[in-house]
Amino acid sequence: MSETPKLDFGGTTPYEDYSHASVLHTLQQQWSKDPREMSFLVITQVMELYFGLLCFEWRQAQTELRGDDLRAAVRTLRRSDLHMQALSAAWRPIARMTPTEFNSFRDALGEGSGFQSGKYREMEFLLGEKSRSMLVPHRAVPAMHDRLEQSLGEPSLYDDVLGALSRAGFAIPAAVLERDLSQAYEPSADVEQVWAEIYRGTDRDLLELGEALTDIAEEFARWRYDHLLATRRSMGSKVGTGGSAGVAWLEKRTQRAVFPELWTARSFV
């Protein structure tokens, strides 16, 4: 067997056929002449790819939870936590831009804002952060709007976790299991006690499930806080590019925790 890798494929390479790398590298179209915009643009697109990957992973975890395969679900959730760590790291180059550097290409964004990302919105919905008003920015893209409207009415990842716990014999209230899924999840004292019971117990699969979810909740909180810091550092308290309140809006979002009872139940263990 030759030690020299195959170099001539008589056309495209298998790598290109699989990854479509040449297509990816055509998608960065600068709107200004500032070289820093390329960094911002590529990082934004990398974030979008991670949003889509996280949606894929959490839907996979939902399938496993519905089949009561908790170990498989935990493996998927652990993998998604690593994706979230990589996603959060993408803020660093943006956060190191001075206000002057960011302003040098900010006008090219016009009214564009990450607030308008359909995949990020789907990711929030999967985490239980639901709001019908958040469909409004996507009305001009019917396919995305329809997908998000469907997601709004579907179980979140946490809904499927609570369904699996209920089938395992835990006292999840009917009001929680049968709630309006299009509404944001609200904490339940009874669910809090279920998690306290799990953490006082010795079932490793359930403990691992709780910890995997907590890792995701923590990483999502970190993502939001890093977004806040990057925005505060690069543009201060200016109005956001999409017309939002900028830092004030982001500060409000950082105060909400996903999977809330996983945090509060620890006081009872």
Q: Residues marked as binding for heme? A: 227
DSSP 195: H
Q: Does residue 195 register a pLDDT over 60?
A: yes
Q: Residues marked as binding? A: 106, 227, 241
DSSP 156: P
**What is the end-to-end Cα distance of the chain in Å, rounded?**
61
All domains of the chain in start order, with CATH: 35-102+114-268 (1.20.58.480)
pLDDT band at 1 (very low <50, low <70, confident <90, very high): low
Q: Quick one: which of 153, 177, 151 has its CA closest to 164?
A: 177
The pLDDT of residue 2: 62
Q: Is-above-0.85 flag for pTM?
A: yes
pLDDT band at 108 (very low <50, low <70, confident <90, very high): confident
Q: Does residue 77 register a pLDDT over 90?
A: yes
**In 127-171, where does DSSP find H-type helix?**
142-152, 157-167
pLDDT band at 4 (very low <50, low <70, confident <90, very high): confident
The pLDDT of residue 187: 96
The DSSP line for 30-75 is -SSS-THHHHHHHHHHHHHHHHHHHHHHHHHHHHHHHTT-HHHHHH
Q: What is the mean pLDDT of residues 246-264?
A: 79
3-state secondary structure at position 187: coil
183, HSE (Cβ side, Cα atoms, 13 Å): 8
pLDDT tens digits for 115-141? 789 999 999 999 999 999 889 988 988
Q: Residues marked as binding for substrate? A: 106, 241
User: Could you tell me what percent of the chain has a pLDDT over 90?
Assistant: 64
pLDDT tens digits for 10-65? 778 888 999 999 999 999 998 888 888 899 899 999 999 999 999 999 999 999 99
The pLDDT of residue 31: 86
Q: What is the mean pLDDT of residues 215-224?
A: 94
Q: Quick one: which of 22, 38, 25, 61 has its CA closest to 164?
A: 61
Cβ atoms of 161 and 188 closer than 8 Å: no
Q: Does residue 242 register a pLDDT over 80?
A: no
Q: Does residue 111 register a pLDDT over 80?
A: no
Q: Does residue 92 register a pLDDT over 90?
A: no
Higher pLDDT, 30 or 67: 67
The pLDDT of residue 107: 77
